């Protein structure tokens, strides 16, 4: 008597799927689809994108199944395919940075314009003072991003760091600078 697919060991299912048995691959999908979708869903804003990438991961896994070593666990392999697809998706659709501070970015833009025109407002003077308080690496990061207008991807590659780590550090620096500017503007208005 044959063991039902749901009770078969994963290595047997992979071997059967490699031999062309569709039900065996369908069982592998059933076992791992929730984990693959969950790994993608927590990293994407839209649930349908996670669904699409999860399906694409299993299609890719099916196409590359002959290359897979059936002695290794299937789950981590298919999740690594999903993560590669996710990275390609991010590159293609350029994720927006988390926690962007539009007011500070506008001040930085004003700073660039002020260098060209010679006009410098109170906000810009406060920003300049706050920038002087930053230490070397933080100041270099802000200058590279906003002065040189380098992309976060370029900076991450230059520093050998992950995109998300650079994005988060820039977010924290924007928050710090925004608080400093607000504090300085408040202090100047009470002094006047």
127-158 tens-digit pLDDT: 777 888 887 888 888 888 877 788 888 888 88
Report the distance separating Cα 70 and Cα 18, nearest Å.
9
| Fold exhibited by the domain 5-93 | Rna Polymerase Sigma Factor; Chain: A (1.10.1740)
Residue 33: is its pLDDT beyond 70? yes
Q: Locate tokens 């290595």: which residue? A: 11
Calculate what percentage of the chain has a pLDDT beyond 90.
33
Dump pLDDT digits (tens) for 37-80.
998 988 888 888 899 999 999 999 999 999 999 889 999 999 99
Here the tokens at position 28 are 């592998």
Check if the beta carbon of residue 117 is closer than 8 Å to that of residue 100: no
Report the CATH number of the 102-191 domain: 1.10.10.10
pTM of the model: 0.48
Q: Convert 116-154 to b/e letters by CB count within 10 Å (16 or more is b).
A: eeeeeeebbebbeebbeebeeebeebbebbbeeebebee
CATH 1.10.1740.10 domain range(s) in the chain: 5-93
Start-end ranges of CATH 1.10.10.10 in the chain? 102-191
């Amino acid at each position: 008597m044959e063991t039902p697919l749901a009770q078969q060991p994963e290595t047997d299912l992979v071997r059967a799927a490699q031999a062309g048995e569709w039900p065996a691959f369908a069982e592998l999908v059933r076992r791992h689809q929730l984990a693959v979708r969950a790994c993608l869903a927590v990293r994407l804003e839209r649930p349908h994108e996670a669904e699409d990438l999860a399906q694409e991961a299993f299609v890719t896994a099916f196409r590359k199944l002959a290359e897979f070593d059936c002695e290794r666990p299937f789950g981590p392999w298919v999740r690594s395919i999903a993560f590669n697809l996710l990275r390609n998706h991010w590159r293609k659709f350029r994720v927006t940075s988390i926690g962007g501070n539009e007011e500070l970015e506008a001040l930085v833009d004003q700073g660039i314009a002020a260098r060209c025109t010679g006009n410098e407002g109170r906000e810009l003077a406060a920003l300049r003072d706050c920038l002087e308080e930053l230490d070397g690496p933080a100041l270099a990061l802000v200058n590279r991003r906003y002065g040189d207008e380098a992309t976060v991807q370029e900076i991450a590659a230059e520093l050998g760091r992950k995109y998300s780590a650079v994005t988060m550090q820039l977010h924290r620096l924007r928050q710090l600078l925004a608080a400093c500017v607000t504090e300085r503007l408040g202090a100047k208005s009470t002094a006047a």
